[in-house]
Amino acid sequence: MKKIMRTIVVFGVLALLAACSDSGSSDAGGGADSGAAADSGGGDSGAAADTGGAPKAMREEVSKSGLWKVGYMPSMDPIPLNQPFELRVSVKNASSGAPFNNGKVTVDARMPAHGHGMKTKPETSFVGDGVYLAKGMQLHMPGEWMLDVTIAGEGGAAETVSARYDCCKSP
Ligand SMILES: [Cu+2]
């Protein structure tokens, strides 16, 4: 029904045009009906939804000493500009993959080019199975940040693993 109406309208308009511009050549032909093509795209069956289990790390970094592997799992990815978020990090022994549970891990962020950190002071707590949760993170300006995870314990000196993060692209 609608379609018919539209067709009629279109014809009406064409008729008008033809009438007004009486330049004869009126090649109203071709054009018009691009419509239909209905590109029922390739079957992306939407299956995406995956396997569950542990959240996938946004990225992973191995410490300079090669001892630690840290996975970064922000509560929002990408991290939004100047909004509080939480950063979960997993800390493992880089070679054995064993989760690091008995030491101290702290998380912080800074902008090396500006020589400042965050305005907030995050609190890091142990969640279990090598995972730590930093609450109260907030990247208050755009630019290059370093997400620092400092790991102390298990004999060696404390070591900080840093991941560069470009904050924060507009959606
Ligand atoms: Cu800055």
3-state secondary structure of 28: coil
User: Using the 8-state DSSP alphabet, how is residue 82 labeled?
Assistant: T
Q: What pLDDT score does 153 carry? A: 78
Report the alpha-carbon distance of residue 169 to residue 22 in Å, rounded: 54
Q: What pLDDT score does 58 carry? A: 85
List, as one string, the DSSP characters of 83-131: S-EEEEEEEEETTT--B--SEEEEEEEEETTTTEE-SS--EEEEEETTE
Let me know: does 50 contact 104? Beta carbons within 8 Å.
Answer: no
Distance 120 CA to ligand 1 centre (A): 14
Distance 141 CA to ligand 1 centre (A): 6
pLDDT, one tens digit for every residue, the chain (171 residues): 444 444 444 443 333 333 333 444 444 444 444 444 444 443 444 333 444 445 678 899 999 999 999 999 999 999 999 999 999 999 999 999 999 998 899 999 999 999 999 999 999 999 999 999 999 999 999 999 999 999 997 666 799 999 999 998 655
CATH of the domain spanning 59-167: 2.60.40.3340
**Structure tokens belonging to residue 107:** 């998380």
Distance 145 CA to ligand 1 centre (A): 8
Q: What pLDDT score does 18 carry? A: 39
Cis peptide before 78 (omega within 30 of 0): yes
Amino acid letter, residue 42: G
Domain spans in the chain, listed from the N-terminal domain onward: 59-167
Distance 165 CA to ligand 1 centre (A): 13
Q: What is the model's pTM? A: 0.67
Residue with tokens 């069956």: 45
CA dihedral over 135, 66, 97, 163, signed as positive or negative:
positive
Q: What pLDDT score does 64 carry? A: 93
Q: Which residues surround ligand 1, an ion (CB under 5 A)?
A: 111, 114, 141
